[in-house]
Amino acid sequence: MKPTRPRCFSLMVAISMVAAACGGDASPDTTTQGGQDPDAISVVVTTSIWGEIVSNIVGDDANVEVLIPVGADPHEYQASSAQVAAMQQADLVIVNGLLLEEGMLDVIEGLETDGVNVLEVASGLDPIPFGSGGHADADHEDEDHDDEDHEDEGDHDHEDEDELTAGECRPTLNDNHEEEGEDDHEEEGHSHDEGSCDPHVWMDPLRIAEAVELIAAELAELDSSVDWMSRAESYAEELRSLHEEMVSTLSAIPEDRRKLVTNHEALGYFADRFDFEVVGTVISGGSTLSDPSSAELAELVDTIRDEDIRAVFAENIDPSALAEAVAAELGDDVEVVELFTDAVGAPGSGGETYIDMLRSNAELIARALS
């Protein structure tokens, strides 16, 4: 084992490199997808992933604008004044929610207060709490589970109405986040605390098969002349086929190697759906805004060594210097593999569409862990 002092030094250098690379840029113009009929309904979508999903439903029958460009981190992105104006004027604003769009929380809350039609998709897709990747107490595939079984579970007297039952999560930091310093979450990375809902629902294609029908129903309320639901059902069938394809691809990985170390906690739904375990993250929690200490990274190195992990999975939205530094501590036996996580890929990347990004992720994970 390498001595502690060189390890801590190299990891602290990596932290400094990432901090220097994360300076904010001005928000670019909104990306346009779908048709541009001035009489068609207007839809504004926050992330490139949801924008790509929505475009498969609307075709040329709605004007779709995507706020966060391809490859940008939705956790830290802040909308420009022009983008805020576009949201205010839209017939429908589609957000992921569950605190994913951390840099736009005030804007989204303001839209809802002003009566703008905002659809938060993730909260309607049976969200799971952070840290349950591969270990959710509730079986998400059993849609008819009896919630009452959880109410009497255990010998504890749950007098606090905020207590969570098994498999449940709270959609926000806490019910009193405004009183306790709502603005602190961006600097300190505290928005995704223990028990809060994991927003990365798109890592499960079967949940997105449900989501497209929710979106189609919302579109039908705005314009009943288009058969949105038929398109959604057709796309949902493609997503169910994708799920089966991913199951087949990932079946090559032995059970004892189905362990994941990721850049941040973005693969909880993937792990839960495809029977993996997330054993560690380079950046703790579900936000990319946290800053890990050298001690935390050194502990992760030990975990990777103890669990005989072969790969650290980095992301297309965030610098990989920290992941590279962690892998470097373990020698040539551990590789860094970049996945598509919080954004679709750039043209030519192999992850330009939602289906392509999940298919590519499955292939990359299978290749690294088989």
**pLDDT in the model for residue 41:** 96
Local structure of residue 370 (DSSP, 8 states): -
From the CB of residue 247, how many other CB atoms can be counted at a distance below 10 Å? 13
Provide the pLDDT for residue 317: 87
Provide the CB-side half-sphere exposure for 309 (13 A, CA): 29
- pLDDT average per 10 residues of sequence, the chain (370 residues): 39 44 44 71 98 96 96 92 98 97 96 97 95 53 42 41 61 43 42 76 98 98 97 98 98 97 94 97 72 88 96 89 92 94 95 98 97
**For residue 181, how far is the Cα from the chain centroid?**
24
Q: Check residue 190 and give its pLDDT.
A: 41
Torsion of CA 302, 305, 306, 310, to 10 degrees: 140
Output the pLDDT for position 131. 77
Instruction: Determine the pLDDT at residue 192.
Output: 52
Cβ atoms of 51 and 64 closer than 8 Å: yes
What is residue 247's predicted lDDT score, i.e. its pLDDT? 98
Q: What is the pLDDT of residue 109?
A: 97
- Name 341's Cβ contacts closer than 8 Å, sequence gap at least 6: 200, 203, 263, 266, 267, 315, 316, 317
Print the SS3 string covering 39-100. CCEEEEECCHHHHHHHHHHHCCCEEEEECCCCCCCCCCCCCCHHHHHHHHHCCEEEECCCCC
